C-alpha cells in the first residue's frame, strides 16, 4: 500500500471514530474549510445554496447530515427535518421541474438501530417519500458501507412499489455492482453511479484506483444500455469524458441521464457541463453533523486534509 492509499484508509477509519469526532467537532475549526463542502447548518442555508446553483443551471439533491443515529427519537427528528425541508423547498418554488430533490441515508433514519432498525428506517423513508410526492419532487437513497447494500436495495424495492420515483446510489468499487446494475437498469429506475466512499475490505471491493475506474465504465455501459435514468456521479475528468462519449454512442437524449457532483468540488466543471446543455445536479449536504461527511471528502483528496489539519492547529 502506497503512502496516499495509507492516508486514505486512515482518514476513512477516523471517519468512523466517535472519540476523534467529539474532539474535532468541539474544536473551533476554521468555518471556511467546512463551508467549502457544507453550506450551512440550517434549511434556510440550503435554500440560498440551491437558488445560487439554479442561477447557473444546476439542480440539487439535498442531504440532511447525520449517519450515527443511535435511538428512535433521533431517527424521527431526522425524518422531521426532511419533512420541514421539503415543505420549505416547495414554498420557495424550488421543487418544480426537478430543481431540488432529497438524498437520504437509511442509517440516519434508523436502519442500524438494534431492534427493528430496517423496519423503522423503511417506515421513516415512506413518510419522507409521501412528503416528496406532495412537494412534487423525488428521493434518492444514498449507499453506505457494504454491510448495508442488501438492506438498502431491499428498501428501494419496497419503496418503489408505492413511490416509483425513488432512486438509489450504487458503488463501482464493489465487486457485486455490475450485477446490481443489470438488475437495476429497468424502465423508470433512477440509479446514481459513484465510485464509493467507504473503507472496504479486498474480499468485497476493488482496492486499486484503476480497477475501480474500469468497473465504473463497465457499470455505466450497463446502465446506459438500459431504459432507466442513470445519474453519473463523479468528478473524475477521465470518467466524465468517457461518460459523455458513451451517452453519444447510445444515442441518449440529454434529458435521459444526468451528471452529478458534490457541493464545493470542481464548481467550474459543474458550470461547464451545465453550460454545454447537460443536466448537472449538485449534492448539497447541510446540518451540524458534518464530521463523517467531511472526513470522507478529505480521504478523496489528501491535500484538503492538510488544509483542514492546519485550520485545527492554527486557531
Q: Which residues bind ligand FDA (CB under 6 A)?
A: 142-143, 169, 171, 192, 194-198, 233-236, 260-262, 265-266, 283, 297, 300-301, 304
Distance CA 173, CA 171 (A): 5
Shortest Å, Cβ 98 to ligand FDA: 14
Identify which of residues 58 and 297 has a Cβ nearer to ligand FDA in the complex.
297
Distance CA 292, CA 112 (A): 16
Shortest Å, Cβ 61 to ligand FDA: 7
Identify which of residues 194 and 223 has a Cβ nearer to ligand FDA in the complex.
194
Catalytic residue among 192, 281, 296, 297: 192
Shortest Å, Cβ 104 to ligand FDA: 10
Cell of 208: 486499486
Shortest Å, Cβ 128 to ligand FDA: 16
Shortest Å, Cβ 115 to ligand FDA: 26
Question: In Å, what is the CA distance from 268 to each residue of 53, 61, 260?
Answer: 12, 18, 13
Distance CA 104, CA 143 (A): 9
- The DSSP output letter for 254 is G
Shortest Å, Cβ 196 to ligand FDA: 5
Identify which of residues 61 and 95 has a Cβ nearer to ligand FDA in the complex.
61
- Whether 192 is catalytic: yes
HSE, CB side, 13 Å, CA atoms: give it for residue 104. 34
Identify which of residues 124 and 234 has a Cβ nearer to ligand FDA in the complex.
234
Identify which of residues 120 and 284 has a Cβ nearer to ligand FDA in the complex.
284
Q: Where are the alpha helices (DSSP H) in the chain?
A: 3-15, 18-26, 31-37, 43-55, 72-91, 117-135, 149-162, 177-184, 209-225, 237-249, 267-275, 291-300, 302-313
Cell of 262: 458534490
Question: In Å, what is the CA distance from 194 to each residue of 25, 240, 260, 261?
Answer: 27, 12, 9, 10
Shortest Å, Cβ 265 to ligand FDA: 5
Distance CA 183, CA 78 (A): 30
Catalytic residue among 8, 142, 180, 297: 142
Identify which of residues 30 and 72 has a Cβ nearer to ligand FDA in the complex.
30
Cell of 305: 486534509
**How many C-beta atoms lie closer than 10 Å to residue 108's C-beta?**
28
What are the b/e assignments for 292-306, b being 16+ CB within 10 Å?
Answer: bbbbbbbbbeeebbe
**In 3D, which of 222, 69, 227 has the Cα closest to residue 144?**
69
Identify which of residues 26 and 54 has a Cβ nearer to ligand FDA in the complex.
54
Q: Which residues are catalytic?
A: 142, 192
Amino acid at each position: 500500500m502506497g503512502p496516499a492509499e495509507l492516508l486514505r484508509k486512515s482518514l476513512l477509519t477516523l471517519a468512523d471514530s466517535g472519540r476523534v469526532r467529539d474532539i474535532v467537532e468541539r474544536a473551533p475549526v476554521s468555518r471556511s474549510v467546512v463551508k467549502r463542502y457544507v453550506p450551512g447548518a440550517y434549511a434556510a442555508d440550503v435554500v440560498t445554496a440551491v437558488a445560487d446553483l439554479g442561477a447557473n443551471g444546476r439542480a440539487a439533491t439535498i442531504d440532511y447530515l447525520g449517519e450515527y443515529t443511535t435511538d428512535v427519537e433521533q431517527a424521527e427528528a431526522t425524518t422531521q427535518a426532511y419533512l420541514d425541508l421539503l415543505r420549505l423547498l416547495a414554498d420557495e418554488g424550488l421543487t418544480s421541474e426537478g430543481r431540488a430533490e432529497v438524498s437520504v441515508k437509511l442509517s440516519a433514519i434508523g436502519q442500524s438501530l438494534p431492534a427493528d432498525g430496517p423496519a423503522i428506517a423503511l417506515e421513516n423513508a415512506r413518510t419522507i417519500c409521501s412528503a416528496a410526492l406532495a412537494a412534487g419532487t423525488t428521493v434518492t437513497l444514498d449507499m453506505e458501507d457494504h454491510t448495508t447494500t442488501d438492506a438498502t436495495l431491499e428498501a428501494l424495492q419496497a419503496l418503489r412499489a408505492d413511490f416509483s420515483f425513488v432512486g438509489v446510489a450504487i458503488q463501482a468499487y464493489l465487486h457485486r455492482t455490475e450485477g446490481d446494475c443489470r438488475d437495476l437498469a429497468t424502465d423508470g429506475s433512477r440509479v446514481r453511479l459513484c465510485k464509493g466512499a467507504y473503507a472496504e475490505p479486498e474480499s468485497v471491493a476493488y482496492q486499486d484506483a484503476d480497477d475501480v475506474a474500469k468497473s465504473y465504465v463497465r457499470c455505466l455501459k450497463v446502465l446506459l444500455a438500459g431504459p432507466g435514468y442513470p445519474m453519473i456521479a463523479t468528478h473524475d475528468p477521465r470518467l466524465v469524458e468517457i461518460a459523455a462519449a458513451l451517452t453519444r454512442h447510445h444515442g441518449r437524449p440529454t434529458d435521459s441521464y444526468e451528471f452529478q457532483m458534490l457541493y464545493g468540488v470542481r464548481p467550474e466543471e459543474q458550470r461547464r457541463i451545465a453550460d454545454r446543455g447537460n443536466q448537472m445536479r449538485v449534492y448539497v449536504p447541510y446540518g451540524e453533523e458534518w464530521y463523517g461527511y467531511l472526513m470522507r471528502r478529505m480521504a478523496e483528496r489528501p491535500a484538503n486534509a492538510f488544509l483542514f489539519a492546519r485550520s485545527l492547529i492554527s486557531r
